[in-house]
Amino acid sequence: MPWLIRLVSALTSTLLLTLGSLSAGAFGQASAAPPEAGALSEAQLTALQGALRKEFDAQGLVGLAVGVVREGRVAHELYFGLADRANEQPVAAHTLFRWASISKPVTAVAALQLVESGALDLDRDVREYVPEFPEKPWPISARQLLCHQGGVVHYTNGEVVRTKREYEAEHPFEDLVVALDMFKESPLIAQPGTTYSYTTHGFMLLGAVVQRAGGAPFAAQVQSRIAAPAGMMTFRPDYQWLELPHRAVGYVRVGERVLPSTNTDVSWKLPGGGYVSTVGDLARFVAALMGDTLLPRRALDRMWTAQRTADGAATSYGLGFGVARVDGRLRVAHTGSQEKTRTLMQFFPDERVGLVLMTNSEWARLGPVAEAAWLLLR
């Protein structure tokens, strides 16, 4: 049975560290441990917080939010540093971070839901759903887009050709079919199926396929079929024209200086990297994936199976997710890298344990942060 994830309340008084200085890394905050199974003991939580704070300080990060999923539920949230240095606003339960490329697994789930309902055939030519996408030398399938084998250009690995035209709508790229103008005239970089080549543009095309196959705007489908069932109350498109309270300010390092990052508009690439939420909602997405809230296990197994190219070469990517074996156990993961943010999602579905990290520091190396956490979580 799908289960509802309760919101994790934050301790705002007992776990603040060193409030005398509000420089980055000067304080950390952790959520209260809920009484349900999966919560760490006070000693374990203290050790985890210490390990994370050590890595946070070593990298000189501005802000960091951490979500821990155990036994298939959100067990803890921890917060470090500042969401906004100029206004001395700490990272907190309500801080919104960009998901960046972790938006791609969301798109994959939306696509597999349509497969389960019979509305989408992963192996049909995507032009049967989106004829506005120009004909290429070879057909492209949704399956190939899901595993980055569609031959679609990324940012710098080939020529990106933008369709130039005038738009009547104020925000035309809310319609994902129109957003294809950002790259649809670009030549393919390889014959589909022959090579793995990571591409955000490919997931933009996949999002347009989901929009057409599902018969509703992509964002609306994601909201009703993913965000709502998972209890993700803050998860939404990062539309720059909307005033979203509690957005984290992003930071970039220039030499020895830490400066505010650009507020680049990412709304045009929603399916590949355009969402925003609190760390709690990213953790709820992971928790929902480890139950039957979003998809049956057979569909999840399909997504979490590493794909091969046409010549049999193995890859480390499934259908929208990175997959690997760690100590013989399946680990599912994805990362995100974008202006204003770095993100990481890792979970072991068979053990029902997961970890999510979100930071507003563009120089962050979240791999070491995750390794420090996993030493105490598994």
pLDDT at 7 over 60: no
190-194 LR contacts (CB < 8 Å, sep 24+): 190/151, 191/137, 191/138, 191/151, 192/138, 192/139, 192/140, 192/141, 192/144, 192/149, 192/150, 192/151, 193/144, 193/149, 193/309, 193/310, 194/149, 194/151, 194/309, 194/310, 194/311
- Percent of the chain with pLDDT strictly greater than 90: 89
pLDDT at 45 over 90: yes
**Within the chain, where are the H helices?**
42-59, 103-117, 142-146, 176-179, 200-214, 218-222, 228-230, 270-273, 279-289, 297-303, 366-377
Residue 357 near residue 69, CB atoms below 8 Å: no
pLDDT at 348 over 60: yes
Q: What is the pLDDT of residues 191-228, one digit of tens each?
A: 999 999 999 999 999 999 999 999 999 999 999 999 99
Q: What is the pLDDT of residues 97-120, one digit of tens each?
A: 999 999 999 999 999 999 999 999
Would you place residue 38 in the very low, low, confident or very high pLDDT band (cuts 50, 70, 90)?
confident
pLDDT at 29 over 80: no
What mean pLDDT is reported for the chain?
A: 91
Q: What pLDDT shows up at residue 378? A: 78
pLDDT at 278 over 90: yes
Q: What pLDDT shows up at residue 16? A: 29
pTM of this prediction? 0.91
